Amino acid sequence: MIRRAPLKKRKISSFMGRVPPNPLLTVISILVALFMSIPIIYVGFRGIFAGSERWLRLLDGRIPQLLLNTLGLTAVVVFFSTVIGVSLAIAVTRCNVPGRKIFSWLLVLPLIIPPYVGAVTYIMIFGPMGPLGSWFQIYSFSGVAFVLTIFTYPYVFLVVRSALKRMNRNLEEAGRSLGLDNLGVFLKVNLPLLRPSIGAGAILVALYVLSDFGAISMLRYNTFTSAIYYQMGGYDNVSATILSLVLIILTVGVLWLEARVGRKTAYFQADSSYRTLEILDIGKWRYPLVGVILLVIGVTIIIPLGVILYWSWIGIARGALDGRFWGYLMNSLQVSLLAGGLSMVFAFPIVYLKSRYPSKFTTILQRLSYSGYALPGVIVALGIIFLFNRYIPVLYGSSFVIVIAYLIRFLPQSMQSSSASLEMIPPKIDEAARNLGEPFWKVIFKVILPLMLPGLFAGGALVFVSSMKELPATLLLRPPNFDTLAVRVWVEASEAVYHMAAPAALIIIIVSIVPIKFLLDKY
Amino acid sequence: METAIELKGITKTYKGERQAAVCNVSLKVKKGSIITLLGPSGCGKTTTLRLIAGFERPESGEISIGGKLMAGEKTWVSAEKRKIGMVFQDYALFPHLNVEENIGFGYRGKDKKERVQEVLEMVNLLGFEHKGVHHLSGGQQQRVALARALAKRPEVILLDEPFSNLDTNLKQTMRNEVRRILKKANATGILVSHDQKDALAISDEIVVMKGGIIQQKGSPRKIYQFPNNAFVAGFVGESNMMEGTVEPGKRWIRTDIGRIPCNQYHIISEGEKILISLRPNGFQLAEDGEIEGNVETYSYVGEYLEARISVTTQKKEKTSLLVYLHPNETIQQGDLLKFRVSANFVSVVKN
């Protein structure tokens, strides 16, 4: 007969997994997870208990308007970036467009331009002082929608392109052997199979639009993020919390959609009999298509880069690279490097536990550390202000709070990267090392860490780049006179001092080239 | 008998390849029969199948299905317009559709529902209509793939390596099942396989291919017992190859290890020097056997006892024979054994 453990013990062990995790690693993981999640949870908590009077007042007036603005913008941007992303992905993977290999690479490039920098470039052109100022009102709904669309469509493009590449050719042939022509195969086989990827890409765009502050505020549009920012600027933190809670609910809603879509992505079986997909001959339609692709590349890459280079050149000629500029650069590097380095240290314990001791408990730890992921920087900043103002005032007012905000926002990037490289090391390696008589910590330091070092560093680098670009939390949390490059771009551009904004923007763009390689590898 | 498929001098060379994947292949398939294209990878069997399906276009030759020209010098009927059902190696079931939707996919008749039920019954999957295809086992997925291919009552069903993704036990069941289902549907089946056991078990006729060329065509028994060249003899089962001279009367072949009986007297002439293939199953232990040798090595593989017998030739050289004995026999290394050879397993082989 099988002896069973007492009920209570069994419950705990099923919660913690079969093998009890290493205690020290567990404690560190719990601390990191709490550290990552408490500010966010606190904002939610404060929002719920903000008082019914405030809630009613906001629900009556601002919230409906903001919902309309935010959801309207999200819908329009998601729609257009999906249409552009999906059609371009199909064009460069499945049609015989000349130069499609180069195009499929160039069309991803807009991701190196953070949307607020992109917004600056189009303000430089269509703004009141720009050469084409009278052609198009950039400070408008269509202006914001345009800028966000052209800098977010690559998310859809990347995801759909990779799905198209992995598509099982046999499925298309099965469709044809069952009597469908080219169009039929596309509509009834390809499109349904692509739906999860299109959905995933659209969700990435939606999450981005919900969280964007820089481009939206620069183009003087009003959504939840900018409203929260201005409420905090006016020291009305209670209203800011309420708005934050609504925005958190919106974001969680989108994430819930993502989880539902994600469950269906198991469509792409590893196909042993893999053959390259057929490239469709679209005849003379190739040439107009090339025209469209060149137009997109021009609008998303060549024009923004050209404008930035032009103004940087003017700026440098006028002495923009003075001592203060190098000071901003040092500030940026200081907080971003610290965030990148710490993210590697913080990511490892949780990632290791989750991989080697999978259980409900480690899943919860991982989920908690993802709290700040996809949430707007303004909300993270709000949580940090609440907590540090009240409980650790020493740190509040030092640049260290910025590092904490970066960690909360970007640690998941580091976790994803290191977890991907840890999953490549089979647990049998750990067991072999243990079996050869090495204690737990020695196995970690002598075997696991050296093996996953590339992934760990890649994660740190991603966090570093994201931190260099980060705007809203930095704006809200920076101590007096602590400006980063991103902050300078925002401030100078708001005051229309373009030649001072451009060199800082250029550096941010150059730094942003780094993660493109990771994105291309991932998709 | 009516011809379901006819290939006439089909040649196909892939872009960037110098050698033709399929070279001047001609083949007639009788309606309602099951044939297997058998050969090692790269032998052109899959290309032949894809040519019939219409996924590839031949550069010369003609393909007719049900008497109608599908591909020729001036004719080209695209894949979706050929009345062909295909079962893919990985089944290629649409993951976004359930069993019923997969089977009914592309079916245009008004009796869709009834037809789906009909083929489901044929493949013994009634009750699985609303299951998602990834919840099915390998054998069930294959049944669905087969049902989907059958639904439109195609002239021909093509099966690409149908059993390669199944484990041994299931493989045996599915061989019988696929044969039963195809026969019940009265469909003409063309399989592609690299596994001789699949081919022998399921086919009415086997076409052995190598290097894009048909090596031999015939019933499984004919292919196994009387391979007509060294490649077929070696690829389909194992074989002992030896040279010999035809004795007067053409009933015996004189070889280095002794006289071997032969039934194929109509293709040989007295005194001719020929190459023969001797299947390991053709040896029986017999006191009065003419061939004798010592057991070199042996291994018991369950269905039979596989032994290497060292035989001394008339020139006093040692040669070794592969022999399958009844698993009941007990032998020891070094034992001297005498054999009789059955003419049913001796084949004259072209060089």
Mapping DSSP onto H, E and C, the string for chain B reads CCEEEEEEEEEECCCCCCCCCEEEEEEEEECCCEEEEECCCCCCHHHHHHHHHCCCCCCEEEEEECCEEEECCCCECCHHHCCEEEECCCCCCCCCCEHHHHHHCCCCCCCHHHHHHHHHHHCCCCCCCCCEHHHCCHHHHHHHHHHHHHHCCCCEEEEECCCCCCCHHHHHHHHHHHHHHHHHCCCEEEEEECCHHHHHHHCCEEEEEECCEEEEEECHHHHHHCCCEHHHHHHCCCCEEEEEEECCCCCEEEECCEEEECCCHHHCCCCCEEEEEECHHHEEECCCCCEEEEEEEEEECCCCEEEEEEEECCCCCEEEEEEEECCCCCCCCCCEEEEEECHHHEEEEEC
Q: Which residue of B has its CA nearest to A176?
A: B80
Residue A435 has pLDDT above 80, yes or no: no
Give the lowest-confidence range in A255-259, A275-279, A363-367.
A275-279
What pLDDT is stored for residue B314 in this prediction? Answer: 83
Contact B89, B46 (CB under 8 A): no
- The identity of residue B14, as a single letter, is Y
Kindly report whether the global pTM for this prediction surpasses the value 0.80.
no
DSSP category for residue A284: G
Q: Is the Cα torsion angle A295, A301, A303, A306 positive or negative in sign?
A: negative
A229 Cα distance to chain centroid: 20
- The identity of residue B55, as a single letter, is F
B89 touches chain A (CB under 8 A): yes
Q: Is the Cα torsion angle A208, A209, A215, A218 positive or negative in sign?
A: negative
Q: Which of A493, A476, A474, A496 is nearest to A484 (CA)?
A: A474
Residue A368 has pLDDT above 60, yes or no: yes
- What does the pLDDT look like over A404-424, one tens digit per residue? 999 999 999 899 888 888 888
B14 touches chain A (CB under 8 A): no
State in words which class domain A40-305 has.
mainly alpha
Q: Find all residues with CB under 8 Å of A177, minimum gap 6, and list them.
A: B53, B79, B80, B82, B84, B85, B86, B149
Phi and psi, residue A280, nearest 5° = -80, 135
Mean pLDDT, residues A43-47: 86
Smallest CA–CA distance, residue A192 to chain B, in Å, is: 7
What pLDDT is stored for residue A128 in this prediction? Answer: 78
Mean pLDDT, residues A415-439: 81
B94 touches chain A (CB under 8 A): yes
Q: Find all residues with CB under 8 Å of A234, minimum gap 6, and list them.
A: none
Contact B16, B67 (CB under 8 A): no
Contact A176 B84 (CB under 8 A): no
The pair of structure tokens assigned to B348 is: 């004259």
A269 touches chain B (CB under 8 A): yes
Q: Which residue of A has its CA nearest to B84?
A: A177
Residue A265 has pLDDT above 60, yes or no: no
Residue B252 has pLDDT above 50, yes or no: yes
Question: If pLDDT is split at 50, 70 and 90, which confidence band does B23 have?
Answer: very high
Q: How far apart are CA A76 and CA A206, in angstroms?
A: 10
Are the folds of A40-305 and A318-523 the same? yes
B317 touches chain A (CB under 8 A): no
Diameter of chain B by CA atoms?
78
- Tell me which residue has tokens 């099951």: B34
H or E element that contains A103: helix A100-106
What pLDDT is stored for residue A14 in this prediction? Answer: 60
B55 touches chain A (CB under 8 A): yes
- To probe the interface with A, which of B49, B84, B96 has the most A CB atoms within 10 Å? B96
- CA of A511: how far to CAs of A114, A324, A502, A507, in Å? 11, 20, 14, 6
Mean pLDDT, residues B86-101: 88
Contact A408, A372 (CB under 8 A): yes
Question: If pLDDT is split at 50, 70 and 90, which confidence band does A153 have?
Answer: very high
Domain A318-523 has CATH 3.40.920.10: no
Q: Which of B53, B94, B97 sits opposite A177 (nearest CB)?
A: B53
Q: Which of A170, A179, A192 sits opposite B106 (nearest CB)?
A: A179
Percent of all residues in chain A with a pLDDT value above 90, rounded to a whole number: 33
Residue A81 has pLDDT above 80, yes or no: yes
Q: Which of B79, B95, B134 sits opposite A177 (nearest CB)?
A: B79
- What does the pLDDT look like over B272-292, one tens digit per residue? 899 999 999 999 999 888 888
Averaged pLDDT score across all residues of chain A: 85
Q: Would you tell me which residues 136-155 of chain B have a C-beta closer than 8 angstroms to some C-beta of chain A?
A: 148-149, 152
What pLDDT is stored for residue A70 in this prediction? Answer: 94
- What does the pLDDT look like over A97-137, one tens digit per residue? 888 888 988 998 898 899 999 999 999 898 877 788 778 88
Residues of A in contact with B82 (CB under 8 A): 177
What pLDDT is stored for residue A16 in this prediction? Answer: 62
- Tell me which residue has tokens 């002794």: B258
What pLDDT is stored for residue A284 in this prediction? Answer: 83
Contact B86 A173 (CB under 8 A): yes
Mean pLDDT, residues B71-77: 90
What pLDDT is stored for residue A18 in this prediction? Answer: 54
Question: If pLDDT is split at 50, 70 and 90, which confidence band does A78 have?
Answer: very high
Residues of A in contact with B149 (CB under 8 A): 177
Residues of B in contact with A175 (CB under 8 A): 105-106
- Tell me which residue has tokens 């052995």: B208
Highest mean pLDDT: which of A61-70, A103-112, B27-36? B27-36
Contact A177 B149 (CB under 8 A): yes
Percent of all residues in chain A with a pLDDT value above 70, rounded to a whole number: 92
- To probe the interface with B, which of A169, A170, A178, A187 has the most B CB atoms within 10 Å? A178
- To probe the interface with B, which of A177, A276, A281 has the most B CB atoms within 10 Å? A177
Q: How far apart are CA A51 and CA B277, in angstroms?
A: 95
What residues pair up with A11 in beta bridges, in sequence order?
A: none
Question: If pLDDT is split at 50, 70 and 90, which confidence band does A263 have?
Answer: low
∠ CA A202-A208-A214, rounded to 5°: 150
Contact A269 B105 (CB under 8 A): no
Contact A57, A242 (CB under 8 A): no
A276 touches chain B (CB under 8 A): no
Q: Find all residues with CB under 8 Å of B166, minimum gap 6, and list them.
A: B138, B139, B142, B174
Residues of B in contact with A269 (CB under 8 A): 90, 95
**Domains of chain A, residue spans:** 40-305, 318-523
B95 touches chain A (CB under 8 A): yes
Mean pLDDT, residues B219-225: 92
Smallest CA–CA distance, residue B92 to chain A, in Å, is: 5
Q: Would you tell me which residues 119-138 of chain B have a C-beta closer than 8 angstroms to some C-beta of chain A?
A: 134
What pLDDT is stored for residue A269 in this prediction? Answer: 46
Smallest CA–CA distance, residue A173 to chain B, in Å, is: 8
Q: How high is the ipTM of this complex?
A: 0.71
What pLDDT is stored for residue B219 in this prediction? Answer: 95
- The identity of residue A242, as a single letter, is I
A191 touches chain B (CB under 8 A): no
Question: If pLDDT is split at 50, 70 and 90, which confidence band does B147 have?
Answer: very high
What pLDDT is stored for residue A104 in this prediction? Answer: 87
What pLDDT is stored for residue A20 in this prediction? Answer: 57
B17 touches chain A (CB under 8 A): no
Residue B172 has pLDDT above 70, yes or no: yes
How many residues are listed for chain B in this entry? 351
Q: Is the Cα torsion angle B49, B54, B59, B65 positive or negative in sign?
A: positive
Contact B90 A168 (CB under 8 A): yes
The 10 Å Cβ neighbour count of residue B111 is: 10
Smallest CA–CA distance, residue B260 to chain A, in Å, is: 45
- The identity of residue A114, as a single letter, is P
What pLDDT is stored for residue A523 in this prediction? Answer: 64
Q: Which of B79, B80, B89 sits opposite A273 (nearest CB)?
A: B89
Strand B252-255 to B258-261 pairing? antiparallel
Mean pLDDT, residues A146-173: 89
Question: If pLDDT is split at 50, 70 and 90, which confidence band does A270 have?
Answer: very low
What pLDDT is stored for residue A13 in this prediction? Answer: 57
Mean pLDDT, residues A342-350: 93
What pLDDT is stored for residue A320 in this prediction? Answer: 78
Contact A176 B85 (CB under 8 A): no
What pLDDT is stored for residue A3 in this prediction? Answer: 44
What pLDDT is stored for residue A177 in this prediction? Answer: 87
Contact A192 B94 (CB under 8 A): yes
- What does the pLDDT look like over A298-308, one tens digit per residue? 999 999 999 99
The SS3 assignment for A280 reads strand
Q: Would you tell me which residues 158-187 of chain A have a C-beta closer than 8 angstroms to some C-beta of chain B?
A: 168, 170-171, 173-181, 184
Contact A181 B86 (CB under 8 A): no
Smallest CA–CA distance, residue B105 to chain A, in Å, is: 7
Residue B33 has pLDDT above 90, yes or no: yes
Mean pLDDT, residues B339-345: 91
What pLDDT is stored for residue A137 in this prediction? Answer: 85
DSSP category for residue A445: I
Contact B10, B72 (CB under 8 A): no
Q: Which of B78, B86, B108 sits opposite A174 (nearest CB)?
A: B86
